[in-house]
Structure 1
Amino acid sequence: MQRILERGEIESLDHTNIPRFRIPVRASVFTDRAARLRQLAQDHPASAYLSLMAQLVDAQHQALGHCKAPPATEEQVSRAQAHGMPPLQAIGWSRSPQWRDILRALVDHIGEQAQVPEQAKAVAASLRERLESDPDAIETQADAILAERDAEVDGATAPFIMAALQVYWTSLAIDFDISKMPVVNPFGVCPLCGSLPVSSVVRVGGPGDGCRYLCCSLCSTEWHLVRVTCSHCEDTKTVAFHSVEGGPEGIKAESCDNCHSYRKIFYQEKDYNVDPVADDLASLTLDMLMGEEGYSRASGNPLLWQGPES
């Protein structure tokens, strides 16, 4: 069993020996997530939704195998290095129309699955029609999703659109030359694409053993952050941890009384197969608890969008 390092031990480490990043693996990033979703769906109150998302993630894996998104230009990389900014900055990025082909493949896959609920098939069919009749509207919705302008986001179609964007940016991240990363990056966002993290995982094994990594909601990159540090405002004095009584030991919410927000943190030592997106999606009871305690999520889950409040 691997030992999880405590805060003082981590702070005393030589951080130059801790990997700054964990880059997604093309062959496994989505297959592992789909398998985890199916595992978590067993006897879960939200089993139908988790199973649906597993089907969607299956399609993501298939699409990623064929995806070769146009890379960042040398000018973009040089500018990012000069200003310490993410080189694959999602907001404002000039997307290739290829990403809409990915979305088309995802919704076609959902429409072909016998066990997918009819309501989900209807949403997929509607998206398929809009891809042909009004691609500009799809692009506008994608821009709103990437910028997290929730009032403009259609909660029903957003998981499908976000899933296609995830494939596109995960491919970009996989193909990016990590040696060209800026030495420093803005706090609290993905150093590659500038998106918010969905959660964090304390990893086991290798040089990152016992270290906490934030997990990008878009490009699947993970980056190191010292534990007992608020991932939203960087405060270290008011961080606390919460869990569901009688629930899994490897799931906690890390709250901060400075910014009154939280993100979940998962411990791979307690469950080796933990996935930052799947496990976050399957632990909504903890979100309800944190809401009752007066804390707000620092960022959402890429496979669950509620859209504007009525």
Structure 2
Amino acid sequence: MIQRILQPGEIEALDRTAIPRVSLPERSTVFANRAARLRKLADHHPVSGYLRLMASLVDAQHQMLERFAGSMPARETMPMQEAQAHSMPILPALGRPRDAVWCGVLRELIDRVDAAGDVTPALGKLLDALRTMPEAELEAAADAVLDLRFEQIDAAAAPFIMAALQVVWTDAACRLDVRDVPYVELPGGCPVCGSLPVASIVRIGGAYHGYRYLQCGLCATEWHMVRVKCSHCDSTKGIAYHGIEGAGEALKAESCDTCGTYRKIGYQEKDYDIEPLADDLASLALDLLMSEAGYRRAAPNPLLWPLAADDE
């Protein structure tokens, strides 16, 4: 039997219910799987120490998420109804007041990382500064991170701030009903929180088999997007795929000549355990290759921030 390969335009024309549109994160596995993947990738890696540190941070996220329950708007509230009516993110990270509970989450994450050991004097000083930082300064730092105002971001502190925000928004995403998540008109924006994806993955198994999903860098929600299409500007022209020779076929960089950006894409059929955020973080050689080729990242990795705006 001969199967015809559908092109992007044909896929979009299919019944929208035929492909699972959104996959919400699983509370018990989202951070546990990420931490395990980071540790596996750290073996014999040039920046193994940093990957293991981030694995400890993600472990702390997993421990917190197991018992954390933040505030959650009811389905009948005006913001939820407006999101549905106007195709907007249902729990936007920007534009609405943020529950200050995330500051307490940050301090507990710091304590857990500290207790895990392997904290250098320089890192200890950074963690102490974050632990004692006034709430107003923390809120300003969170705004800068979420809004990608790179010139206002402390690259060393940002992964810890983002980790706390991830716990809060992932908790919320876990408690949503997927049927309540609206179709969002924003290209490349998460339908739950509006944040940018960190990477994409072509899944295998069940209803998701063979389909590409973008993974949100904040709430870990995944949403479907057709393949061979720029996840940043929606262009289908000038799309190319790049890899490191000898590094395998499980992770590539998908570049777009229309907007000059790239975002990594993983193939689960090549490596079942691939995890978008972790594999993106551990593939710095691919970032260097893309930079040398003249492309810029479409969005930073939440656990590794650039030192200046022109690095992106």
Shift of 1:181: 2.1
Shift of 1:101: 1.1
Identify the residue that residue 290 of structure 1 maps to in structure 2: 290
Deviations 1:59-96 (A, max 9, x none): 00111112211113511111111211001010123222
2:83 to 57, 75, 80: 80
**Counterpart contact for 1:281–1:304, Cα < 8 Å:** yes
Shift of 1:15: 4.0
Identify the residue that residue 272 of structure 1 maps to in structure 2: 272
Identify the residue that residue 306 of structure 2 maps to in structure 1: 306
Distance 1:6 1:137, change over 3 A: farther
Shift of 1:111: 1.5
Q: What amino acid sits opposite 2:155 in the alignment?
A: G
DSSP 3-state at the match of 1:167: helix
Distance 2:291 2:267 in 1: 22
After TM superposition, list the pairs within 5 Å mapping 1:21-170 onto structure 2: 21-73=22-74, 74-130=77-133, 134-170=134-170
TM-score normalized by the length of structure 1: 0.94
1:255 aligns with 2:223: no
DSSP 3-state at the match of 1:277: helix
Distance 1:56 1:305 in 2: 15
* RMSD across aligned positions (CA): 1.7
| More moved, 209-218 vs 105-114 | 105-114
What are the ranges of 5 or more consecutive residues in structure 1 without an aligned counterpart? none
What are the ranges of 5 or more consecutive residues in structure 2 without an aligned counterpart? none
Identify the residue that residue 8 of structure 1 maps to in structure 2: 7
**Counterpart contact for 1:201–1:213, Cα < 8 Å:** yes
DSSP 3-state at the match of 2:7: helix
Distance 1:6 1:251, change over 3 A: farther
TM-score normalized by the length of structure 2: 0.93
Q: What amino acid sits opposite 2:160 in the alignment?
A: F
Identify the residue that residue 244 of structure 2 maps to in structure 1: 244
Distance 1:252 1:294 in 2: 16
Q: What amino acid sits opposite 1:118 in the alignment?
A: P
Q: What amino acid sits opposite 1:221 in the alignment?
A: T
Shift of 1:119: 2.3
Shift of 1:197: 0.3
| More moved, 94-103 vs 50-59 | 94-103
**Counterpart contact for 2:144–2:152, Cα < 8 Å:** yes
DSSP 3-state at the match of 2:66: helix
Shift of 1:184: 4.3
**Counterpart contact for 2:88–2:183, Cα < 8 Å:** no
DSSP 3-state at the match of 1:87: coil
Distance 1:309 1:210 in 2: 35
Distance 1:294 1:308 in 2: 17
Shift of 1:267: 0.3
Distance 1:203 1:175 in 2: 23
Aligned residue pair count: 303
Shift of 1:129: 1.5
Identity %: 51
**Counterpart contact for 1:72–1:87, Cα < 8 Å:** no
Shift of 1:308: 3.1
DSSP 3-state at the match of 1:17: coil
DSSP 3-state at the match of 1:148: coil
DSSP 3-state at the match of 2:264: strand
Distance 2:5 2:304 in 1: 33
Distance 2:170 2:147 in 1: 17
Q: What amino acid sits opposite 2:63 in the alignment?
A: Q
| More moved, 31-40 vs 106-115 | 106-115
DSSP 3-state at the match of 2:276: coil
| More moved, 43-52 vs 61-70 | 61-70
Structure 1 runs (4+) greater than 6 angstroms displaced: none
DSSP 3-state at the match of 1:207: helix
Identify the residue that residue 21 of structure 2 maps to in structure 1: 20
Distance 1:6 1:38, change over 3 A: farther
Q: What amino acid sits opposite 2:114 in the alignment?
A: G
1:234 aligns with 2:237: no
Distance 1:124 1:39 in 2: 25
